Amino acid sequence: MKFHKEGIATLLVTILFSTIIISIAHFVFPTFAIAHWFAYLLSAFLLVVVIQFFRHPTRVHTINPNAIIAPADGEVVVIEETEETEYFKDKRIQVSIFMSPINVHVNRYPIAGEVTYAKYHAGKFLVASLPKASTENERTSIVVKHATNGKSILFRQVAGALARRIVMYSKQGDIATQCGEMGFIKFGSRVDLYLPLDAKLKVKIGDVCVGSQTVIAEF
């Protein structure tokens, strides 16, 4: 288990804040033991929350050129045929994975190939479960063209009501490695996948996915 680099700044701020409130408790209330214990407990709680949120577990990745692997941990909340209007402008199968604050928030490439499109969109911070969050919230869109069969998929990092920072490492022209890191979403949200209509789904609504391990679909 490692601590993800995207959490270093947050961890430092949390440590500074904890130091300040503990110092205030001791100097302002030098004989008030309850204030001291409150400061210690609050500091410990905040540190545990930050450490668990930015944890980066070591995993054995599922590498399969015929499979589309889950790009994130979380629950499958949407499976439907929809019109993808940003890049493909045609019908696609949308699979959405909701990431709660207790999930690992590392995002990974579901297939290997070339990144043919990568764009960040500023936006709102609506509840991630709303359908319009995919088109109105802060989000990124990344398209990868499969290394061998030439098919492309789009996946989208979508911010939610709590998420205020999406990190995307992808750039157009990059070579994506299946299960390699492509970004991070801070404090919960979701990832949408837009798959070809002939993709063979291996998950259903309500399934819990493990990023870099669960097979979402096969070509």
Give the DSSP H/E element, type plus range, for residue 56: strand 55-56
Q: Which residues are 42's β-sheet partners?
A: none
DSSP 138-190: SEEEEEEEETTT--EEEEEEEE-SS---EEE---TTPEEPTT-EEEEETT-EE
Beta strands 74-84 and 2-3 are unpaired
Angle ∠(148,150,152) on CA atoms, nearest 5: 120
Known catalytic membership, residue 141: no
217 phi and psi angles, rounded to 5 deg? -160, 170
- For residues 219 and 207, what is the distance between their CA atoms, to the nearest angstrom? 20
Selected catalytic residue, list 43, 152, 170, 189: 189
Point out the residues that are catalytic: 189
